[in-house]
Structure 1
Amino acid sequence: MLSLLQILLLILDIVWFVIIVHIIMSWLISFQVLNLHQPLVAQIYHGVNRLLEPIYGPIRRILPDTGGLDLAPLIVLIGIYALRIVIGNNLYAFA
């Protein structure tokens, strides 16, 4: 059981990293440091968007409209952090 929890923590770390990459890329695109007309940038950005949309979609439906500010990544990051705390605090019970 301990191995399964460690695998879950690894998956949460990977999701955390992908969300951070998505946030940074969206900022760089907004400030015109990156251009979506470049094929590699467009492929990476759209791939990350497609990967994260199933996670962001339900949260965006619940959150009120905040205009151009998307709070879904922040909510997901807080949820991942909280889940890591819960798993970390109960990890000894499965050893």
Structure 2
Amino acid sequence: MEFLLLLHNVIVPWAFQIYSWILIIYILMSWVPNVRESQVGVILGKIAEPYLAIFRRFIPPIGGMLDISPIVAFFVLQFVQRGVLYLIELLARAIG
């Protein structure tokens, strides 16, 4: 039960928060020329791009320039976080 509390209150929120910051930094890096090709940019790209690619397949850029898929990706990430936290709560209640 203590582990579920730790999971619910610390581990899951921190994991999603860290991933959200990785996405934000990676997206901001796209505004600066040649930054994505740096070592940090490549590492962040390997972490962020697989998730963002899911949304880019279904959401084309507006006017060929404005990519709104990261916005949708953030909403989905928040929805998934809430779902995971809810499942942990259900499990904690079932265990007692």
**TM bracket, shorter-chain basis:** 0.5 to 0.7
Alignment gaps of 5+ in structure 2 = none
Match in the other structure for 1:44: 40
Cα RMSD (Å) of the superposition? Answer: 2.7
Work out whether residues 60 and 67 of structure 2, in 8 Å CA contact, stay in contact via their aligned partners in 1: no
CA deviation after TM superposition for structure 1 residue 91, in Å: 4.5
The percent of aligned pairs where both chains have the same amino acid is 23
- Of structures 1 and 2, the one scoring higher in RCO (CA 8 A, sep 6+) is 1
Partner of residue 21 from structure 1, selected from 22, 25, 39:
25
Unaligned runs of 5+ in 1: 30-34
> Aligned letter for 1:16?
S
Q: Say whether 1:10 aligns with 2:8.
A: no
1:76 alignment partner AA: A
Deviates more, 1:80-89 or 1:42-51: 80-89
Distance 2:77 2:54 in 1: 15
2:53 pairs with 1:64: no
CA displacement, residues 18-42 of structure 1 (integer Å, 9 cap, x when unaligned): 0111122223x0xxxxx527xxx72
Change (3 A) 1:47 1:94: same
